[in-house]
Amino acid sequence: MSPTNTTGPTESTGPTRPIKLGELSPRLQDRYGYRRTPRWAIAALAIVCLALAIFGGWTANRVANPEVRWKLLAWNAVDASHSTVSFEVRRSGETTVECAVRAQDKFRQDVGYATLTIPPGPEYVQETYPLATRSLAFTVEVLGCDTPGSLYVAPEQFPPGTSNPPQPWRPS
């Protein structure tokens, strides 16, 4: 028998590999806080993530493709009594649309406000509206267009003691 060398280097049969956590003894797993995640929890998390991704995609699609689209084309402050506003509306042909337009002076106070209804008709409508104003308009805007009952825009905000002139403007 030959003496065993316990202090020198040992011979290796190949490269060492890292130990997998599952190969540790239960005592070492407890010591280092290793807990195996149950498969049902991983599956439940995957289902929740998939449901959130589907909901997020559906919401993004609804926001990117609304039922009614509008775009301000032009406006003209004709004089102190009225302005004209031209805008386009794209919708499905059988949809009635409500649009809110307003004019403001240089102090950002409302000088004209109207909610108009566009009856069902073609999918593309170009509307020109004569908006009556209390004074010369500094800006005119389309606040929004949507189906009746779904139009959520800022209400008219006239200074105290003033009111909205009768709409639409008619020459006197």
| Rounded mean pLDDT for each run of 10 residues along the chain, 172 residues in total | 56 73 79 82 96 96 90 96 96 92 95 96 95 96 94 92 93 83
Whether 56 and 63 have beta carbons less than 8 Å apart is answered as: no
Residue 85: phi and psi, rounded to 5, are -130, 130
Amino acid 31: pLDDT? 82
Whether 70 and 127 have beta carbons less than 8 Å apart is answered as: no
Amino acid 11: pLDDT? 61
- Give the integer Cα–Cα distance in Å for 22 and 157: 69
- DSSP E strands in 2-109: the ranges are 69-79, 82-90, 97-104
Token pair for residue 33? Answer: 């806080």
The pTM of the full predicted model, rounded to 2 decimals, is: 0.69
Tokens 């559906």: give the residue.
58
43 shares its domain with 73: no
* Structural domain count of the chain: 2
One-letter amino acid of 112? G
Amino acid 13: pLDDT? 67
Domain span holding position 107: 69-146
Token pair for residue 158? Answer: 């006239």
Amino acid 25: pLDDT? 83
What is the sign, positive or negative, of the torsion defined by CA atoms of 164, 169, 171, 172?
negative
**What does DSSP assign to residue 60?**
H
Amino acid 86: pLDDT? 97
Amino acid 158: pLDDT? 93
Is residue 5 included in any domain, yes or no? no
Amino acid 75: pLDDT? 97
100 shares its domain with 78: yes
Is residue 172 included in any domain, yes or no? no
CA 158, distance to chain mean position in Å, is: 29
